[in-house]
Structure 1
Amino acid sequence: MPPLDLHVALFGASGAGKTVLLAAFYRAQTQPSFQQEYAYKIQAVNKAQGNRLLGRFYRLEEGQFPEGSTRFDEIEFDFFPRDLAEPAVRIHWYDYPGRWWEEEPVDADEREAMREGLLRLGMSQVGILLADGAKYRREGTSYIRWLFEHFADECDRLRRASAAAGEEVSFPREWILALSKADLFPPEYSARDFEREVCRDADEQLAKLCSVLRAEHAFGHRFLLLSSVAAPPDAPVDPGTSLGVRTLAPAILVSTVEGAVREAQAARKEKSAKETFFQGLRDLVQFVDSVDDFLPKRYQIVSKILRFVSIKDFASARVDQLRKAREDAIRKGDTFKAVLTGMVAALRDDEGLRAYHQNQ
């Protein structure tokens, strides 16, 4: 069975930490200790890309932070369940350079690279906007308001320019707002605290951004704290300490399922306005054999997910129950179920509960 494809678009201004995040994400989840605890490991589909990511991480161990990416990158990661030979999930990671949102293309080649890269947006189930934790810590509310205003204006500019060129650009409908460099905040600071501050202090800017993206629930719903490495003041960088990096892939998975549920609910005219997400998910489970008939192409993968992970797992299963289901799946060779239940469990452990928060 071919791996399940998830497409993710990552955005952030220059210096927000995207390059370090990718290196830490890859290094952490290729280690035997990670595979033992979470029952899966990842592998770069392109060996050269994997080696570059590891090289960046090892230079971090020497205190050398890599320069930010200046070009669009597509990196593919396969997720392998422990003790099973076939990959279960493949993430297509689209890394958009920060300078694309800050400066004009330097020449015709970069303009064409930008055009081709931005067309990948329409393939993405989930977008991630990375806020710079150092700037937020220093500047507070004004930085978050600027980030939302700036990103909304650039998305609007891109949509209008593309329409004028006859190429309609579509954006992901499901988004995660992630805060990088979370090690700069107190140990008790959580994604719930970040959500409370953003929704209180930047609600108008959030509304504008959702309107530009034409997605009512795009922002203000999912929040993630990320610390790729610990870099305390006057102390050596510690690449072995991170927060939220192991929670990132599970958050993407759940966001994809939620997006499909919303699409399915919108397609059903008789849906009650009070219908909850999980009621909508139950309907998807009931009609999973025909789910492809009414879901957009980018969400058809959800029909596969719902064949391997029950609604109970998404709704309320305890961590120990999910881990038991994961180990049972490994013994039976159920590749999809092993990885997917492992990812859902990662959202329920101590790190997941601090690093990830949904307010709906």
Structure 2
Amino acid sequence: MPPLDLHVAVFGASGAGKTVLLAAFYRAQTQPAFQQEYAYKIQAVNKAQGNRLLGRFYRLEEGTFPEGSTRFDEIEFDFFPRDLPEPAVRIHWYDYPGRWWEEEPVDADERDAMREGLLRLGMSQVGILLADGAKYRSEGTAYIRWLFEHFADECDRLRRASAAAGDEVSFPREWILALSKADLFPPDYSARDFEREVCRDADEQLAKLCAVLRAERAFGHRFMLLSSVAAPPDAQVDPGTSLGVRTLAPAILVSTVEGAVREAQAARKEKSAKETFFEGLRDLVQFVDSVDDFLPKRYQIVSKILRFVSLKDLATARVDRLRKAREDALRKGDTFKAVLTGMVAALRNDEGLRAYHQNQ
């Protein structure tokens, strides 16, 4: 059976840390210790891209931060269960350079590359907007408000320009707001703290951004802390220490399922106005065999996910129960269930609980 395809679009201004994050994301999850603890590992589909990411990480170990990306990249990662030969999940990572949101294309070639890259947005189930933790720490509320206003204005400009050129740009409906460089914050600072600050201080800007993206509540209920390396004051950078990097793929997976539930709820005329997310998920499971008929194409993989991960596991299962289910799946050679339950478990361990918060 071919792997499940998840598509994620990653955005951030120049200097926000996208390039370092990608290198740390890849390096951390290729290590034997990670595979032993989480029961899966990742591998770049393109060997040259994988080697390039490792090269960036090793330069980090020498104290050299890589230059930010200046072009659109699509990188594919396969997720392999421990000791099983076939991949279960493939993540397509679309990396949009920060300068696209800050400057005009330098020539016709870049304009064409931008057009092709932005058309991939319609394939993405989840978008990630990366806020620069260093700027947020120094500038506070003003920076977050600027980020939302700027991103909303640029998305609106892009939509209008694309429509004039005959293209239809479709943005992801599900989003994660992630704070990079989280090592600059106190050790007890969590994604829940970040959520409280943003929703308190930038609610108007959040509403504007949701309206521009034409996705009700797209922002404001999924928050992450990400630290690719530890860089304490007056100390050497430690690329071996990170926060949230292992939680990122599980957050993408769960966000995809949640997006499908909302699409399914919207399509059902008899839906109660008070229906909760998990009531919607229960109904979705009941119709899992026909769910592909009414879900948009980018969400049709959810019917496969729900055949391998139970409703209880997605909603409320404790981390020990999930780990047991994962190990049972490995013994049976059940590729999909092993990886998917391993990902859900990663959201409920100590790092996941600090690095990821969902308020709805």
TM-score (norm 2): 1.00
Q: SS of 1:243's equivalent?
A: coil
Q: What CA deviation, in whole Å up to 9, does each residue of 1:136-156 have, x standing for no partner?
A: 000000000000000000000
Q: Write the distance in 2 (CA, Å) between the matches of 1:166 and 1:46.
A: 33
Q: Write the distance in 2 (CA, Å) between the matches of 1:345 and 1:252.
A: 13
Q: SS of 1:342's equivalent?
A: helix
Q: SS of 2:11's equivalent?
A: strand
Q: SS of 1:345's equivalent?
A: helix
Q: What CA deviation, in whole Å up to 9, does each residue of 1:38-96 have, x standing for no partner?
A: 00000000000000000000000000000000000000000000010000000000000
| 1:26 aligned residue | 26
Q: Write the distance in 2 (CA, Å) between the matches of 1:208 and 1:217.
A: 11
Q: Write the distance in 2 (CA, Å) between the matches of 1:263 and 1:315.
A: 18
Runs of 4+ in 1 over 3 A off after TM superposition: none
Q: SS of 1:337's equivalent?
A: helix
1:185, distance to aligned residue in structure 2 (A): 0.1
1:241, distance to aligned residue in structure 2 (A): 0.3
1:217, distance to aligned residue in structure 2 (A): 1.7
Q: What CA deviation, in whole Å up to 9, does each residue of 1:15-58 have, x standing for no partner?
A: 00000000000000000000000000000000000000000000
Q: Write the distance in 2 (CA, Å) between the matches of 1:149 and 1:217.
A: 16
State whether structure 2 residue 328 is matched by structure 1 residue 324: no
1:233, distance to aligned residue in structure 2 (A): 1.3
Q: Write the distance in 2 (CA, Å) between the matches of 1:207 and 1:92.
A: 28
1:173, distance to aligned residue in structure 2 (A): 0.0
Q: What CA deviation, in whole Å up to 9, does each residue of 1:214-262 have, x standing for no partner?
A: 0012100100000000011111000000000000000000000000000
**Structure 2 alignment gaps of length 5 or more:** none
For the aligned residue pairs, the C-alpha RMSD in angstroms reads: 0.3
Q: Write the distance in 2 (CA, Å) between the matches of 1:217 and 1:294.
A: 21
**Structure 1 alignment gaps of length 5 or more:** none
Q: What CA deviation, in whole Å up to 9, does each residue of 1:173-203 have, x standing for no partner?
A: 0000000000000000000000000000000
Say how many residue pairs are matched: 360
1:281, distance to aligned residue in structure 2 (A): 0.4
Q: SS of 1:11's equivalent?
A: strand
TM-score (norm 1): 1.00
Q: SS of 2:264's equivalent?
A: helix
Matches within 5 A, 1:288-307: 288-307=288-307
Q: Write the distance in 2 (CA, Å) between the matches of 1:92 and 1:159.
A: 23
Q: What CA deviation, in whole Å up to 9, does each residue of 1:314-359 have, x standing for no partner?
A: 1110100000000000000110000000000000000000000000
Q: SS of 2:87's equivalent?
A: coil
Q: SS of 2:261's equivalent?
A: helix
Q: Write the distance in 1 (CA, Å) between the matches of 2:93 and 2:156.
A: 23
Q: Write the distance in 2 (CA, Å) between the matches of 1:162 and 1:4.
A: 30
Q: What CA deviation, in whole Å up to 9, does each residue of 1:107-144 have, x standing for no partner?
A: 00000000000000000000000000000000000000
State whether structure 2 residue 321 is matched by structure 1 residue 314: no
